Amino acid sequence: MNTIIHDSVHVVLAFSLPPLLLGVIAKTKALFAGRVGPPLLQPYYDLFKLFQKGSVYSTTTTWVFRAGAVVGFVSAGIAVLLIPLSGSAAPISFTGDLILFAYLLGLGRFFTASAALDTGSAFEGMGAAREVTFACLAEPAFFLGLLVLAKLSGSLQLSGMLGSSLATHWANAGDSLALVLLSWFIVLLAENSRIPFDDPNTHLELTMIHEVMVLDHGGPAFGMILYGAALKLFVFGALVVRLAVPMTVGSAWLDWPIFVAGLLVVAVVIGVVESTMARLRLTRVPVLLVAACLLSAFAIILLVR
């Protein structure tokens, strides 16, 4: 497959698949609870409906409130172009793109948090505070994992670090990679506010982090936020899949389905975690995140000692 087709497959997948992951998670949880659950494509219907709706803006808000939704979505949308999905390089790939990737998500976080504070609501302030605080601990864990990959691959591009050469490293540095995988999975749960960090299902003030932060958004702006959050889930899910299943069959026609299947498995795993675990007490959340940092830190120490 040549580059153009490859890139277009990447773009199409990256922008069409994310809501499906939410659907799969919801379905898994429903099955665990013995319910039928919403249809797999429900998130798409939700998004479609939201983009058709009118909006209500609080009189307290300014342009920052709208910017929160837009920047959150756009930064996730660019970040998704930086990560490799199957064996070959991502559409945008250059030395140091990993830093841009992490900081793009940071930019989105800054503006979503600012948008929350723009409403002047105590609930949203609380959500924003938690979001940015927990990110402080998730970010080092993520970068420590990147150190491991950079050390192993000798590359500073996400496409090189998570490329097919990673498969050979599972043989000689499997311990480290397993630790990073676990650590990144925790980061995935934290960054996307899933259980045990936050319960995304309550959809009301009872939610602690992300959902409460976007309480005041409605209509198309809320659609953008939901879509952005789904993209973020996709992004982290893709990282985890690339880390866990780096091998390529050789034929792109097989690599893509393998990747998609891996992603769906990740969604199912998230669903299982959400069904079997309770939400952590808020004060215990940092402990888990520090544990994620330590996992990655030991992974790199194992490599360089």
Partner 1 sequence: MAPFLDPLLIVALALNFVALGVSRIRGVINAVALQGILLGILALFVHSEIGIRGILLVGGTICLKGFVIPRFLVHALREANIQHEVTPVVNYMNSILLGAVGTGLAMVFSSTLPLADTHKGLLLVPASLATVWTGFLMLTTRKKAIMQVLGYLLLENGIFLFGLLLLEAMPLLVEVGVLLDLFTGVFVMGIIIHHISREFASISTEHLTELKE
Partner 2 sequence: MTELLVVLAIGICASSGVPGLFLRRDSMTGQWVTTVLSVLGAALGIGAIFAFWATGLSRPIALPWSIPGAEFDVAMDGLSAVFLMPIFLVSLLGNVYGLGYWRQTEHPQNGRRLRFFYGTLTAGMALLVIARNSILFMVAWEIMALSNFFLVTTEGHKSEVRDAGWMYLVATHVATLCLFALFAVLHVTNGSFTLVASSQRAGSSGTAAAIFVLALVGFGLKAGVMPLHIWLPSSHAASPSHVSAMMSGVVIKMGIYGLMRVTSFLGAPSLEWSAVVLGLGVVSGVLGVVYAIGQHDVKRLLAYHSIENIGIIVIGLGLALIGRSLGRADWIVLGLAGSLLHVWNHALFKALLFLSAGSAIHAAHSREIDHLGGLSKSMPWTSLCFVIGAVAICGLPPLNGFVSEFLIYIGLFHTLGSTGGTSFVWAAFAVPILALIGALALACFAKAYGAVFLGTPRSEHATHAHESPQSMLWPMGVLVVCCLVIGTAPTVTMPILGRAIADWAPGLGDADSILAASAPIGRVGVMGLVLILGTLLGGIALWIRNRRQSVERGTTWACGYVAPTSRMQYTSSSFAQMVVGLFGWVLHPTIRKPKDFPLFPAPTSFHSHVPDAVLDFVVLPIFRFAAWLFSWFRVFQRGNIQAYLLYVFLALIALLLWS
Among 174, 247, 261, 277, binds partner 1 (CB under 8 A): 174
Q: Helices 285-304 and 122-153: crossing angle, nearest 10°?
A: 10
Provide, rounded to whole angstroms, the least separation between the CB of residue 260 and partner 2: 26
**Of the listed pieces 31-39, 157-165, 188-196, 291-299, which binds partner 1 according to CB under 8 A?**
291-299
Near partner 2 in 55-84, by CB under 8 A:
55-62, 64, 66-67, 69-71, 73-75, 77-78
Provide, rounded to whole angstroms, the least separation between the CB of residue 304 and partner 1: 10
> How far is C-alpha 255 from the geometric centre of its chain's CA atoms?
21
Nearer to partner 1, 65 or 298 (CB): 298
Provide, rounded to whole angstroms, the least separation between the CB of residue 135 and partner 1: 17
The Cα-based distances of 142 to 22, 41, 187, 231 in angstroms read: 23, 31, 7, 18
Residue 90 identity (one-letter amino acid): A
Among 102, 282, 286, 303, binds partner 1 (CB under 8 A): 286
Provide, rounded to whole angstroms, the least separation between the CB of residue 58 and partner 2: 4
C-beta atoms surrounding 188 within 10 Å: 23
Based on the shown chain and the rule CB under 8 A, indicate whether residue 281 belongs to the binding site for partner 2.
no
The 8-class DSSP code of residue 279 comes to P
Number of amino acids touching partner 2 (CB under 8 A): 83
Near partner 2 in 105-144, by CB under 8 A:
106-107, 109-110, 113-114, 116-126, 128-130, 132-133, 135-144
Structure tokens at 8: 């277009």
Nearer to partner 2, 130 or 194 (CB): 130
- From start to end of 82-214, where are the E strands? none
Candidates 192, 297, 294; CA nearest to 240 is 192
Residue 27 identity (one-letter amino acid): K
The Cα-based distances of 141 to 88, 133, 243 in angstroms read: 26, 14, 15
* Interface positions with partner 1 (CB under 8 A): 174-175, 178-179, 284, 286-287, 290-291, 294-295, 297-298, 301-302, 305
